[in-house]
Chain A
């Protein structure tokens, strides 16, 4: 019985060219484009230099700065206030002021002070720019056996992303997002479309048990979810040569539960909705909250307490953490148990609810 229900879903799906192309194009597009755009790295900062020294040493420093890809020279200013105007007009993000005694200080006392001023309208940009610049200066000073006074001294070691390439940590998160979007949205439209077309009436007068009906609806999305996952993995491997560090079987095993859970959530919304717009906006609302409160975009630990409690009941929190752990750290099953447990509870709860919420009679 379930077999025929699934067969029917696939026939309908197959004839809907839009959905088929969505399932194929969306993961490819997201995996190809978004790792580049969602990066946290700052490049091409515009820098204005006020060089009072104009010595070979200062020229050497400028040379060093322009050879990195972090800074763009937007010009030399004759004094500090002129440089500030560059910042005000938006031509520049950062100002570097080299004192007149720079060369002498550096060669004699092996120490000099340099002023850095950054436009903090974009705080991340300012912070990162300043620390990049400080690092470059420190490196430069060490050539002279000297030191540039470094106010902030952060010793960081990036263990699972040693090159601090932001494309890599984005990949598992993006896979989670694609799966959530596709297998959340599609099922939420499904039952409500049958309601709008009246076909649900015809199904309801048949002796089909409701668990068969719901499973017949879930399994196709489950298969779609696995296809989307596979597609994303293949694209990210081809594009970024990044295979998951952990076990693929584990990754698929957990994804399968998550996909079923999220599609069941879509079906529940579909069950309670009477028209398509209602279903669409409800799932939209739920998924936006899931994404914003999952730690994918912002760390959960920096959220206020109430938001953290919401995040702690959000299945996306656990699934994205599991994905990152398997993908980047290569974690194994025992490490993942604290994350799998809540995900499994969610899965059982949501499937039961999906079956119960479908009523064959009003």
Chain B
């Protein structure tokens, strides 16, 4: 079976900084592949290598069976790239931007209208407006439209939902699902863990390395440690004290609670609660609320990060 994107042990350094330290992945047709990780994890470098904008320092990668170094000229017409920053011409109107990029790819809006119709119809009322005067959500739709205008086989979206309101984010993911149905391979990066479950498969990236590549469901299912959420009136001394407890593997602030992972996988929820409440009472916390919870992707990310550091 041929993969749309095959990446083998890609490395990239910027001087002494290792941005990517050997990354491998496979992406198939009709798949949304998420690269999930914080800023500075190497997401953008990976995208820029795969879209032939920069050269890797090691490893190899193929897009549609074409080598990203040797056959870069053949890759450019078949990939769509939407950079993290809005990078269309702000002083050109919506339709001028679309026409311009269509022409550079030797095509027209009409020719590929079926692919972009759904997105274009939303920005069409503003087609005479300058791109710089659009709202954040509209800009993002225009950028997606321009990235799709030449009917690419693989779509690279670098943090497409950063700085976009929750409603637009939801709409955006809906659009990605529709594009996937048309057979596109979509590689999307995001720092938002809640978007991970919207992908078919995800790679958790940290410090230029993939911690794990799996379906989000499987990543959650693989989490086999007891997990608890703890709340008290004084949260920051609580965090410090919990980390002192020898049975605790890791503890992180998570919204208004702290999530605690215990080392012993055999402990059930009652035993765990018991253990934590006695330990915390001994350390002077009397108003502690402890609940056992189901892990989400962020818990898995934090856990894997702890294992790897």
Please list the residues of chain A having a beta carbon within 8 angstroms of any beta carbon in chain B. 1, 4-5, 8, 11-12, 15-16, 197-208, 360-362
Give the residue name and chain of the A residue nearest to B83 (CB): A201
CA distance A200 to B83 in the complex (A): 11
**A208 and B104: CB pair below 8 A?**
yes
B185 → chain A, closest Cβ, in Å? 16
CA distance A199 to B103 in the complex (A): 16
Interface residues on B, range: 20 to 34
**A12 and B91: CB pair below 8 A?**
yes
**A199 and B87: CB pair below 8 A?**
yes
**A205 and B81: CB pair below 8 A?**
yes
For residue B86, CB closer than 8 A to chain A, the reply is yes
- Known A4-B100, A15-B91, A360-B53; 19 more pairs at CB < 8 Å: A4-B103, A4-B104, A5-B104, A8-B92, A12-B91, A12-B92, A198-B85, A199-B89, A200-B87, A202-B87, A202-B101, A202-B146, A205-B81, A206-B104, A207-B73, A207-B76, A207-B77, A361-B52, A361-B72
29 contacting pairs across A/B (C-beta < 8 A): A5-B104, A8-B89, A8-B100, A12-B91, A16-B91, A197-B87, A198-B86, A198-B87, A199-B87, A199-B88, A201-B53, A201-B83, A201-B87, A202-B88, A205-B52, A205-B53, A205-B76, A205-B79, A206-B101, A206-B104, A207-B77, A207-B105, A207-B106, A208-B104, A361-B52, A361-B53, A361-B55, A362-B53, A362-B54
Set of chain A residues within 8 Å of B52, measured between Cβ atoms: 205, 361
B170 → chain A, closest Cβ, in Å? 26
Set of chain A residues within 8 Å of B24, measured between Cβ atoms: none
A227 → chain B, closest Cβ, in Å? 21
Q: Do most interface residues of chain A lie in helix, strand or loop, or is the interface mixed? A: helix
In the complex, which of the residues A197, A202, A203, A362 contacts B55, with contact meaning CB atoms closer than 8 Å? A362
**A205 and B51: CB pair below 8 A?**
yes
For residue B90, CB closer than 8 A to chain A, the reply is yes
Set of chain A residues within 8 Å of B79, measured between Cβ atoms: 205
Set of chain A residues within 8 Å of B90, measured between Cβ atoms: 197
Set of chain A residues within 8 Å of B92, measured between Cβ atoms: 8, 11-12
Set of chain B residues within 8 Å of A5, measured between Cβ atoms: 104
* Residue of A5, A12, A207 contacting most chain B CB atoms (<10 Å): A207
Give the residue name and chain of the B residue nearest to A197 (CB): B87
**B146 and A206: CB pair below 8 A?**
no
B272 → chain A, closest Cβ, in Å? 49
Give the residue name and chain of the B residue nearest to A209 (CB): B73
Set of chain A residues within 8 Å of B86, measured between Cβ atoms: 198
CA distance A207 to B85 in the complex (A): 21
In the complex, which of the residues A4, A12, A201, A206 contacts B76, with contact meaning CB atoms closer than 8 Å? A206
A204 in contact with B53 given A198-B85, A198-B87, A199-B87 (CB within 8 Å): yes
CA distance A361 to B53 in the complex (A): 4
Give the residue name and chain of the A residue nearest to B77 (CB): A207
**A202 and B83: CB pair below 8 A?**
yes
A207 in contact with B83 given A11-B96, A15-B91, A197-B90 (CB within 8 Å): no
CA distance A225 to B54 in the complex (A): 35
CA distance A285 to B122 in the complex (A): 48
Give the residue name and chain of the B residue nearest to A12 (CB): B91
CA distance A362 to B100 in the complex (A): 24
CA distance A208 to B102 in the complex (A): 12
Give the residue name and chain of the B residue nearest to A13 (CB): B91
- The 7 A-B residue pairs whose C-beta atoms are closest, nearest first, are A198-B87, A206-B104, A4-B103, A362-B54, A205-B81, A207-B76, A198-B85
B76 → chain A, closest Cβ, in Å? 5
**B54 and A361: CB pair below 8 A?**
yes
CA distance A175 to B274 in the complex (A): 89
Set of chain B residues within 8 Å of A12, measured between Cβ atoms: 89, 91-92
Set of chain A residues within 8 Å of B104, measured between Cβ atoms: 1, 4-5, 203, 206-208
Give the residue name and chain of the A residue nearest to B102 (CB): A4
Set of chain A residues within 8 Å of B96, measured between Cβ atoms: 8, 11
Give the residue name and chain of the B residue nearest to A199 (CB): B87
B61 → chain A, closest Cβ, in Å? 14
CA distance A8 to B106 in the complex (A): 15
Give the residue name and chain of the A residue nearest to B92 (CB): A11
Give the residue name and chain of the B residue nearest to A8 (CB): B100
Set of chain A residues within 8 Å of B55, measured between Cβ atoms: 361-362
